[in-house]
Amino acid sequence: MPASKACVERTQIAARAAADKFGTELVALDLSEQSVLSEVFLIVTATNTKMVDSIADEVEEKLRLASDKPLRREGTAEWILLDYSDLVVHIQSSELRRYYMLDRLWNDCPKIELEVVKEEVARG
């Protein structure tokens, strides 16, 4: 069973917020068949440590406006995890993204098409 419609909608909100703060390499993975802990991982790259925090703040704010708040926020200067139970947002520095390669770790999970990524591709 794929990720719920509500979770995918919140993922789209989070992705848009991350992109608005210059998050790059956005990937959403549908973990619903693999994990009982969460339905979706949204992985975002930030080009520097200040942007990691800025992106996390924007994602939190936009999801708060959509009546959602994280169960917890954990992290360091280079990696912040926002846990919304069924949605987990990972915001990583470029260096940690390359090192941990969460995309490859979960590469057997289907990707969720992100509207903000489609728009960027269409713009060229």
Six token digits for residue 92: 């990583």
Contact criterion met (CB below 8 Å) for 71 and 63: no
Domain regions of the chain by residue span: 5-110
Six token digits for residue 30: 């549908």
- How big is the CA angle at 105 (ends 103 and 107), to the nearest 5 degrees? 60
Q: Over the stretch 5-41, which tens digit does the pLDDT of each residue have?
A: 999 999 999 999 999 999 999 999 999 888 667 899 9
Instruction: Give the mean pLDDT of 100-110.
Output: 91
Q: Over the stretch 50-77, which tens digit does the pLDDT of each residue have?
A: 999 999 999 999 999 999 999 999 999 9
Nearest-10 crossing angle of helices 5-20, 115-123: 50
Per-residue pLDDT band at 123 (split at 50, 70, 90): confident
- Classify domain 5-110 at the CATH topology level: Beta Polymerase; domain 2 (3.30.460)
Contact criterion met (CB below 8 Å) for 20 and 119: no
Contact criterion met (CB below 8 Å) for 29 and 37: no
Whole-number pLDDT of residue 35 = 64
Whole-number pLDDT of residue 33 = 87
